[in-house]
Amino acid sequence: MKVAVITRHAITNYGSLLQAFATQQVIEELGHTCEIIDYVRNDESYSQHEKTLLARKPEWNRNLIKKAIYLALRQPESIASGRRFETEQSKYLHLTKRYASSEELLEDKPIADVYMTGSDQVWGPVENGSYDSSYCLSFTNDSDKRIAYAASFGRTEMTSEIENFFKKWLSRYRYIGVREDSAVSLLNKMGIDSVQVLDPTLLLDSTFWSKTAKPIKEKKYVLVYQLHNDKRVGAYAAQVAKTRELPLIRVSTSFHQISREGKLIWCPEIGKFLSYIKNAECMVTDSFHGTAFAINFNTPFVEVLPNNKTGTRNVSILQMMGLSDRILKDYTDTALAWRKIDFLSSNRILEKERENSIHTLRKIIES
């Protein structure tokens, strides 16, 4: 069958791209064809970041001089990283034609046997803070088969208005698999059945990802992979590296992180990004997908929960794998980084969960 997947594949973020690639890969390994619906809202296109960057910074937008300075610092970086990721997207993903709005999807939706909402925070707010029903397959007909695999709300708090929005659209799905246990609870509250499944990057084992990885020149190092703005993360990572007299490497799509602790490797290609995680002596991260790849590669890691409301996904995967003790509670506890991890146990859990999730994915596509 042909499966059309809508997901957040075009954000300048490694996890977003890799989860889309993994979803596509596993569907094809199950014997089906897969296309990623190339839905990139105008306000989320890197080419339009002049508007979207400033929309979040009203204090800069009101002052012409501040506005010019801010754009001069941020716009070139956004365009450069956006172009790099666009190249990677075209390399790894089987994309439909480009859709820039929900209206375009409604007018000429991709033809498929199954329409799937894919993984990542597809049911969270988009760039302007609103919720986009396109990620709830609002462009499909009642006769179409609608499913979701490893979809995420990204958070647990929801107003009655947002809850009604999702109740309206998600009640039309035939099957729903979600990434976090908290999402199962949210949907159950709405009277909608769902099951918890693995993030698609974990459906592919370390052997597959090792083949995708590309060589890097660095040998022994501590890695920091940080998505959220918390100065304590870099300071902690620097102390971890210092305890073993190792260099600190920082991987990021944001060039402004050059001012933070560690040697910045800016926007490496996907294969090298994977290698930096695989070969690290230890990784300090606040990223869900950084954590997922550390678990898959058996790379020692420390989990720093994000200083916002999106950490439920990180907690959920760690609880599932029996690795909750990797969450940092004391920023002076550098010994945690070097405390041995029982990967034998987590590998057994992962293997079982992988088998169950692939079985679920096959079932929801084919039944």
Residues 239-271 pLDDT 10s: 999 999 999 999 999 888 999 999 999 999 999
Residue 76, pLDDT above cutoff 80: no
More confident residue, 65 or 86: 86
Same domain flag for 219 and 156: no
Same domain flag for 143 and 216: no
pLDDT at 75: 64
Same domain flag for 189 and 301: no
| pLDDT per residue as tens digits for the range 328-364 | 999 999 999 999 999 999 999 999 999 999 999 999 9
Same domain flag for 38 and 178: yes
Confidence of residue 147 (pLDDT cuts 50, 70, 90): very high
N-terminal to C-terminal alpha carbon distance within the chain: 11
Q: Among 323, 324, 325, which residue's Cα sits nearest to residue 343?
A: 323
Confidence of residue 306 (pLDDT cuts 50, 70, 90): confident
Mapping DSSP onto H, E and C, the string for the chain reads: CEEEEECCCCCCCHHHHHHHHHHHHHHHHCCCEEEEEEECCHHHCHHHHHHHHHHCCHHHHCCHHHHHHHHHHHHHHHHHHHHHHHHHHHHHCCEEEEECCHHHHHHCCCCCCEEEECCECCCCCCCCCCCCHHHHCCCCCCCCEEEEEEECCCCCCCCHHHHHHHHHHHCCCCEEEECCHHHHHHHHHCCCCCEECCCHHHHCCHHHHHHHCCCCCCCCCEEEECCCCCHHHHHHHHHHHHHCCCCEEEEECCHHHHHCCCEEEECCCHHHHHHHHHCCCEEEECCHHHHHHHHHHCCCEEECCCCCCCCHHHHHHHHHCCCHHHECCCCCCCHHHHCCCCHHHHHHHHHHHHHHHHHHHHHHHHC
Residue 31, pLDDT above cutoff 60: yes
The answer to whether residue 81 is domain-embedded is yes
The answer to whether residue 357 is domain-embedded is no
pTM of the model: 0.92
CATH number at residue 45: 3.40.50
Confidence of residue 57 (pLDDT cuts 50, 70, 90): low
The answer to whether residue 359 is domain-embedded is no
Q: 175, 197, 219 — which closes off a domain?
A: 197
pLDDT at 129: 85
> What is the C-alpha separation between 22 and 37, in angstroms, rounded?
15
Residue 144, pLDDT above cutoff 70: yes
Q: By the 8 A CB rule, do 292 and 201 touch?
A: yes
Same domain flag for 37 and 91: yes
Q: 158, 176, 197 — which closes off a domain?
A: 197
Q: What percent of the chain has pLDDT over 70?
A: 91
The answer to whether residue 356 is domain-embedded is no
Residues 73-98 as b/e (b if ≥16 CB within 10 A, e otherwise) read ebeebbebbbebbbebbeebbebbee
> What is the C-alpha separation between 339 and 302, in angstroms, rounded?
10
pLDDT at 195: 97
pLDDT at 65: 65
Residue 70, pLDDT above cutoff 60: no
For residue 303, give its domain range.
Answer: 209-346
Between the alpha carbon of residue 140 and those of residues 102, 116, 135, 163, 191, the distances in Å are: 11, 10, 11, 21, 22
Same domain flag for 290 and 262: yes
Same domain flag for 6 and 27: yes
Confidence of residue 291 (pLDDT cuts 50, 70, 90): very high
Same domain flag for 151 and 88: yes
> What is the C-alpha separation between 328 and 336, in angstroms, rounded?
8
CA angle 207, 208, 209 (to 5 degrees): 95
Same domain flag for 39 and 162: yes
The answer to whether residue 202 is domain-embedded is no
Confidence of residue 81 (pLDDT cuts 50, 70, 90): confident
The answer to whether residue 182 is domain-embedded is yes
Same domain flag for 22 and 166: yes
CATH number at residue 262: 3.40.50.2000
Instruction: Give me the chain's average pLDDT, please.
Output: 92
Same domain flag for 26 and 61: yes
The answer to whether residue 367 is domain-embedded is no
| pLDDT per residue as tens digits for the range 180-220 | 999 999 999 999 999 999 999 999 999 999 999 999 999 99
Same domain flag for 68 and 168: yes
Q: 173, 197, 221 — which closes off a domain?
A: 197
pLDDT at 82: 87
| Number of domains into which the chain is organized | 2
Residue 313, pLDDT above cutoff 90: no
The answer to whether residue 355 is domain-embedded is no
Reading the block at residue 336, the tokens are: 């945690």
